[in-house]
Amino acid sequence: MSFIKPTIYLIKEDVKSGSEIFKVKNLSSDIKDNFTVFYRKSKRNIPDWAYFLNETFDVSTQNFKNSSSYAVLTITVSGRIFAIPLGMGVHLLDMTKIEYNFGLRAAINSIPKNEIRQIDTTKPELNSQKTKKLASLGTTPEGFEINKEKDILRGIVGKISSNLELGDSLDGKDSLRLFKNVESLLELEKILKKIHTQYLSKHYQKDYPWLDNISLIRDRALKEKLDKLLVQELKKGSLEELHFIPPVFFGEDVVNKDFVFSTGDRSRLSLKEKYGMPSMIDWKKDIGKEERKKISLENLDNYKVHTLGENGKENSWLLHRCLAWETAIQEEKFILSEGSWYEISPSFYKEVSDYFASCVADNNFPTPSKTKIKESDYNKEICDASKNERHLFDLGHELAKKRGLGKDNNEVCDVYDSKNRTFIHVKMGKSSSTLSHLLAQGSYSGVILKQEEKILSQFNKHLGDLGLDPLQLPYTPNSYTIMYVSVIGATQKKEIPFFSKVTFYNMVRKSLNFAGYKCIFSFVLLPSNV
């Protein structure tokens, strides 16, 4: 008997007819009861490589005729349209008409927590890191080391109970793939009813309550709606909540970098005004009121950000890829980060934001001596402002390059405040990549001092060489503070991107606070360019 192993798509609720789900027109169709099959008649073609072979070999191209089959089966079940592509039929579908994450939701409601065999995740950071992990035996999300505050689950494969009568396993992403032979349309209809029930279930909230914290928006209509809100905000020009954060920022080579704005008018970049660490106020002033009013959804990509170096090298990004913005539509919260839109659970957003706000503290550090200053030079200035209390451990500075720890010569911190028992970590700027490095540095050194006696002894030796008392033994982190410092432009807001707050929340709450450290976040403003 013939059979199929279906891959199933759920069509969006506002689509009323199966004929609306295709990106091509004039498809043939046939109806049987409440099923409709749409198809494109196959044509026999000779592939290009056959002509390539025929130029050298005595082989007729007629021996290599092939054809591709395109068909899509649709059925309405429980008031919703389902589509099952056959052959190459998936290429006929207009993917803006499908329900995103349908397969994931149905699968995660069906696969027991300890029977996951494969997961696909996306991390909402620079370049949207994607990971696929495979296990030979049934595994839990914890076994896959999912970061529940940061990872977006995009796909799942696992074993299911025989009681569901859906086969022995499911593969869920936007579509749902069954590993089961389906031998009739009647059987298919029964299966789709069960799958729809699994999709609607809230069972996943018991084992996967974090699943709804963050979701990458892939719906084209919603993305366009959010982009329109962004355009309105740029045209309005108040820009209080819109932050300029380029994908990369400056480090030790800061003196060779300048930021330049362009509007697509083909003006020479070298003749434009240059900024060391610009804000949206600088952008607003640079392009002018009349140019800002011209921004539209259609020409948004014309507005760009560039970095210029003394060696003539240039990097460029679309302006909206350099923006961090939080907005809302009714009760739904959305974040623009690295050029992508995300929907954030309101409760999760409040939890993370409140936690970060509770950790922000002022400092008495000096204003940097110049707008373009190396990180290591500013750390020296912090120490010079309080010579008997703060001590340089930034390996990038000549005076501290021998104060590394372990065989890898790692930094314990940039500055150690012996009076207040504070490990100070400093970074220039607040791009996602910069803050990720900053937070990871503080987490690593805090944990390794607690875990490795040899590392602790080596640090104590450095303290002794400076004439300072060693850390108390046994080492108790409860007596010490880890301080993260972001040095930002004079007009920039004392704020960081939401996903950097999530990283802070995750590292500090789960690791450093657990170890006993108090952790705070602070800002330093560069002097004005004026």
H or E, element range at 492: none
The reported pLDDT for the residue numbered 255 is 47
3-state helix, strand, coil in the chain (%, to 5): 35, 30, 40
Residue 463 has pLDDT above 90, yes or no: yes
Helix pair angle (498-507, 346-359), 10° resolution: 70
Strands 481-488 and 518-525: parallel
pLDDT at 309: 66
Query: Which residue has better confidence, 242 or 481?
Result: 481
Give CA–CA dist 480/421, Å, rounded: 5
Residue 509 has pLDDT above 50, yes or no: yes
Query: 310 versus 275: which is more confidently predicted?
Result: 275
**Range in 78-92, 101-115, 300-314, 417-431 with the lowest mean pLDDT:** 300-314
Task: Work out the average pLDDT over 450-471.
Answer: 92
pLDDT computed for residue 384 by the predictor: 95
Contact 368, 429 (CB under 8 A): no
The whole-number pLDDT of residue 247 equals 65
What pLDDT score does 372 carry? 83
DSSP letter string, 320-387: GGGEEEEEEETTEEEEEETTEEEEE-HHHHHHHHHHHHHHB----PPPPSSSS--HHHHHHHHHHTTT
What are the two backbone dihedrals, phi and then psi, of residue 436, each rounded to the nearest 5 degrees?
-60, -45
> In whole angstroms, how large is the CA radius of gyration of the chain?
29
- Please compute the mean of the pLDDT values over residues 73-97 and round it to a whole number: 92
Residue 332 pLDDT class (50, 70, 90 cuts) = confident
pLDDT above 60: residue 251: no
For 274-305, how does the pLDDT look when each residue is reduced to its tens digit (9 = 90+)? 887 788 888 999 999 899 999 999 999 899 98
Query: How far is the C-alpha of 161 from the C-alpha of 141, rounded, in Å?
Result: 18
pLDDT of the residue at 208: 85
Under a CB-based contact definition with an 8 Å cutoff, are residues 249 and 429 in contact?
yes
pLDDT band at 429 (very low <50, low <70, confident <90, very high): confident
Is 90 exceeded by the pLDDT of residue 250? Answer: no
What does the pLDDT average to over 236-255?
Answer: 67
- Segments making up each domain of the chain, as ranges: 7-212, 220-344, 358-525
Tens-digit pLDDT profile for residues 22-35: 988 889 999 988 89
- What does the pLDDT read at residue 252? 45
pLDDT digits (tens, 9 = 90+) for 134-191: 888 888 888 888 888 778 888 999 999 989 999 999 999 999 999 999 999 999 999 9
More confident residue, 142 or 105: 105
User: Is 363 in contact with 522 (CB distance < 8 Å)?
Assistant: yes
Looking at residue 195, what is its pLDDT? 96
Q: CA–CA separation, 405 vs 445, rounded Å? A: 9
Average pLDDT over residues 399-408: 90
- Cα–Cα nearest to 337, from 502, 522, 485: 502
Tell me how far apart the alpha carbons of residues 431 and 419 are, in angstroms, rounded to a whole number: 31
pLDDT score, position 125: 59
Determine contact, residues 218/226, Cβ cutoff 8 Å: no
Write down the pLDDT at residue 395.
94
Q: What is the mean pLDDT of the chain?
A: 88
pLDDT for residue 277 = 76
* Amino acid symbol at 434: T
Q: What pLDDT is stored for residue 316 in this prediction?
A: 82
DSSP classification of residue 25: -
The string of DSSP codes covering 81-143 is EEEEEEETGGGGB-GGGB-TTHHHHHHHTTS-TT-EEEEEEEESSTT-EEEEEEEEEEE-TTT
Q: Which residue has the tokens 């804000």?
A: 279
Burial class from Cβ neighbours inside 10 Å (0-12, 13-18, 19+) for residue 79 reads exposed
Sheet holding 323-329, edge to edge: 214-216, 340-344, 332-337, 323-329, 242-244
Query: What percentage of the chain has pLDDT greater than the value 90?
Result: 47
pLDDT of residue 127: 46
Q: Is the pLDDT of residue 254 over 50?
A: no
Tell whether the model's pLDDT for residue 522 goes beyond 90.
Answer: yes
What is the pLDDT confidence band of residue 128, given thresholds at 50, 70 and 90? low
Residue 81 identity:
I
pLDDT score for 129: 61
SS3 454: helix
* 249-274 average pLDDT score: 71
pLDDT surpasses 80 at 363: yes
Strand 176-178 and strand 340-344: the pairing is unpaired
CA distance 440 to 508: 10
Reported as a pLDDT band with limits 50, 70 and 90, residue 230 is very high
Q: Closest Cα partner for 483 from 512, 523, 522, 446?
A: 522
